[in-house]
A and B are shown apart, each in its own frame.
Chain A
């Protein structure tokens, strides 16, 4: 295939990949971030311990996290149709992506916030902070570099999942590599799409690392 043909294909694939990845990441955070925070806050040593709630949420998160994406995708077909209007296609796949990613996000957020020094949280308590002030002004702010780093990792993971979109009639670079490359024995298409995917991952990782370093004031 000539560059003239290949180029629009890669461009479209990149667009589709981002079109799935970015909203899925944002939505996963909308659900996963509060969940992760609740996990820290309600833990035994949290600022508002609620062991039962914590245990139940923990089980749900682990359960969802242990289902392979490709199986979840199939299992969710009816629900996806209900929520997104259709079960297959580039837009529809955002829903299963979110369902599979938000528990992962919750764990990432949980571990980032858990890293915040307990002494610092105690200092905030000693100053008469409310629990919400501690969450917003201390936990999230102090964990920000780690949260940003985690977000880059999550984005890359979701990007990886989008490669399986072809199984549900979705587009994107991964789908192009499989359906228009591998399946048609067009190795040039497969490699170019894969390289584009790798570059995208590199870009996100580099941006994540750069930002993390830039906003981290812990070391000097």
Chain B
């Protein structure tokens, strides 16, 4: 990773104000996106995620702060440099935003058309992009004839047409069902790994972050309340917003039971299967469930389970290993 971050946001603030009310959408945000990584920004609805990502390619103009792209301030660029920089940053949207009157090939062709790429070269590139997103047979279809997942693939291909080095994703999977979400996420991961394109994505789903992001920032009320490596942030969530997003009760709301417990966190990554009933069977440990707060959302499991920590260290290990294997996280709390 190079020393100059691809994107550096410094003290960014954005206020939406009209005659009688004022919303501070972004409040002194600073963060860095390094070249080659998948950086996730997660937050509840209204946290300011869309505003932030839209400021990055100057679709929205912040009131304060700077956004450096390879050290150059996007907010102070002249129009021409801005347009050239935007071409280096592809963007995909929750609602796909495809050109409905253009065929799929013509949609992907658009960025090449406006940058005057010679027709022959453009055609070849469109073909290659259709290959990358797996839509070779849809070149002459119109967006209205495609499913949501296919439309998002077109959006991705269109965003990649000008060979950007950054892909901005605004809730790219939120309009899709779980299966399709998975396929789009692995496509993004593939693009990041194979083409080396940096990805900045925003989402309200922790599972998306867990699945493909390297680093994460948690946004709450227009502020970055937590930032770091995904595993780190996930296991040591400190902020209230983070805990809410992970479906975890804030520790303050937990009764001190007077003995060690294990907190098992379901973040949506684990499949929906009877993990707990198998836990006892397969590990032979008698599990004492103290509290459970599990929700099923779109075929995924979110929430937490508090169990009494077994006294035998081997049993603790067996339980933790089993759970980690299943894709859930275990954390010890109420240490005496």
Give the most central of B100, B102, B168: most A CB within 10 Å.
B100
Interface-lining segment among B22-30, B82-90, B248-256: B82-90
Is B113's CB under 8 angstroms from A137's CB?
yes
> Which chain A residues border B155 with CB–CB below 8 Å?
123
Task: Flag if A218 contacts B86 (CB, 8 Å).
Answer: no
If A217-B144, A220-B144 touch, whether A126 touches B89 (CB-CB below 8 Å) is yes
Residues of B within 8 A of A128 (CB): 83-87, 111, 114-115, 162
CB distance from A217 to the nearest CB of B (A): 4
Chain A residues 117 to 135 lying within 8 A of chain B, measured CB to CB, are 117, 119-120, 122-130, 133
B144 and A119 within 8 A (CB)? no
Chain B, residues 114-131, CB within 8 Å of chain A (1/0): the string is 110000000000000000
Cβ contacts under 8 Å, B101 to chain A: 141-142, 144-145, 215-218
Residue of B nearest to A144 (CB): B101
Q: Which residues in B have their C-beta under 8 angstroms from that of A120?
A: 97-100
Q: Mark B164-196, 1 if CB is under 8 A from A, else 0.
A: 000010000000000000000000000000000
- Indicate which residue in B85, B90, B114, B159 contacts A129 across the interface (CB closer than 8 Å): B114
Is the CB–CB distance between B114 and A133 below 8 Å?
yes
Chain A residues whose CB sits within 8 angstroms of the CB of B276 once the complex forms: none
Q: Which residue of B84, B113, B168 has the most chain A CB atoms within 10 A of its CB atom?
A: B113
The minimal Cβ–Cβ distance linking A193 to chain B, given in whole angstroms, is 40
Least CB distance, A107 to chain B, in whole angstroms: 22
The reply on B142 being an interface residue by CB < 8 A is yes
A99 touches B (CB below 8 Å)? no
Q: Nearest chain-A residue to B95 (Cβ)?
A: A119
In the complex, B57 has a CB within 8 A of chain A: yes
Q: Is B145 an interface residue when CB atoms closer than 8 A count as contact?
A: yes
Report the bound CA distance from A150 to B183 in whole Å.
42
Cβ of A214 < 8 Å from any Cβ of B? no
In the bound assembly, the distance between CA atoms of A26 and B143 in angstroms comes to 32
B213 within 8 A of partner (CB): no
A-to-B contact residues, CB < 8 Å: 117, 119-120, 122-130, 133, 137-138, 141-142, 144-145, 215-220
